[in-house]
Amino acid sequence: MAWLVAGLGNPGERYAHTRHNVGRMVVDELARAAGERFRKVRFIPAEVAEIHHGDERVLLARSTLYMNESGTSYAGIAKKQHVDPDHVIAVHDEIELAPGVIRVKLGGGNAGHNGLRSLQSSLRSPEFHRVRLGVGRPPGRQDPADFVLAPIARRDADDVAALVDRAADAVQCLIVEGLPATQERFNGGAPGV
């Protein structure tokens, strides 16, 4: 059975370099590293790049819908490609985790994350993998939505790039080595912490 990696984020240049798009950045990095390009999917509002890890077929997906309604895109691909929920990996930002921290798990709630809510509803199951990427809480009294949708400051760009690289490694590890090994390797603090 193939794997589906859902890079949660918003389409368009306006959102490309925001914390809310780190999941989308991860699938972009995985495709870039494999030398693959995204292609539009017929009749589904999504783009997919297909890569392979050993014997594993991996579909990297980006919805062309906004995050809060993107679950239909990923569920449509999963249905078309016969991918069960336990072979879906949602990669997403997480404000409740400190910047640079990664947590990998299977199942759970959506913690108010609209992308996860949409995906869970569309898959009709919470039993998919999550690669949660810590972006931290907004400073002061800034609205969390404004914080994650604001462009990443130049001073934070290197840290976000390092997080994306590590998350891409975590996705590959999850596919090849399984959940326990991935959690042991990646569910610690941020590097250097």
Which of 17, 20, 53, 129 is catalytic? The answer is 20
Query: How many beta carbons lie within 10 A of that of residue 112, not counting itself?
Result: 10
Q: Is the dihedral of CA 128, 182, 83, 135 positive or negative?
A: positive
Token reading at 84: 């069960």
Query: Which candidate, 176, 182, 177, 143, places its Cα nearest to that of 55?
Result: 176
Rounded CA separation 101/115 (Å): 19
CB of 52 closer than 8 Å to CB of 132? no
Active site residue 20: yes
Residue where the block lists tokens 């949409």? 118
Q: Are strands 129-134 and 102-106 parallel, antiparallel or unpaired?
A: antiparallel
3-state secondary structure of 102: strand
Beta-carbon-side half-sphere exposure of residue 52 (alpha carbons within 13 Å): 2
Residues noted as catalytic? 20
